[in-house]
Amino acid sequence: MTGLGPAVPRVRPRIGCAGASLALALLAFAGGALADKPVFVHPFDGAPIETPLEEGEAETPALKEFKETGVNPYRDQAEAVADGKRLYEQWCQVCHAADASGNMGPSLVDDKHVYAQTATDAGMFAIVYAGASGAMQGFSGRITQDDMLKLIAYVRSLGR
């Protein structure tokens, strides 16, 4: 093994938060308590990722709120979580396992993340949208961003 772990958090706070510690920002994102416009970044290099809508794709109220605040409104919403479960079973389960503990792909629960930014909804959204490495290719253009939020809401429901 190379021994290199996911050492560097890769979710960047907005520039206005530069004075605050990164750790604090991460905690805030993870808890969803801080209404802060998220900056989406790639887990490899922290480079910003633009997330334009596909042609004909609607910006739902939930997505609009998420992009303004970093808070996923679908968390704990039964109907959305059920939709997320359906999406997860279709797209994610084979690699990440039914309980999201990891199979061919890494764990998405219990803080055993390959990429630290997975801990926040904004960080996970960036990976689902733009991909990470190898088989984890971006899902932009394949599922809607609104569905990505539902998917994330379902994954979060597993990690409890």
What is the binding site for other proteins (CB under 8 A)?
1-6, 42, 44-45, 47, 91-95, 101-107, 112, 114, 131-135, 137, 141-142
Least distance in Å: CB of 28 to other proteins?
Answer: 24
Q: What share of the chain is helix, strand, coil (3-state, %, to 5)?
A: 40, 5, 55
141 backbone φψ class: left, alpha, beta (φ>0; ψ -120 to 50): left
Q: Which amino acid is at 131?
A: G
Residue nearer to other proteins on the CB measure, 77 or 91 = 91
Least distance in Å: CB of 155 to other proteins?
Answer: 16
CA distances from 69 to 34, 53, 122, 129 (A): 8, 18, 10, 17
Least distance in Å: CB of 141 to other proteins?
Answer: 7
Residue nearer to other proteins on the CB measure, 52 or 134 = 134
Least distance in Å: CB of 154 to other proteins?
Answer: 16
Residue nearer to other proteins on the CB measure, 2 or 19 = 2
Residue nearer to other proteins on the CB measure, 2 or 55 = 2
Structure tokens at 97: 């396992």
Length of the chain measured in residues: 160
Structure tokens at 89: 């079973």
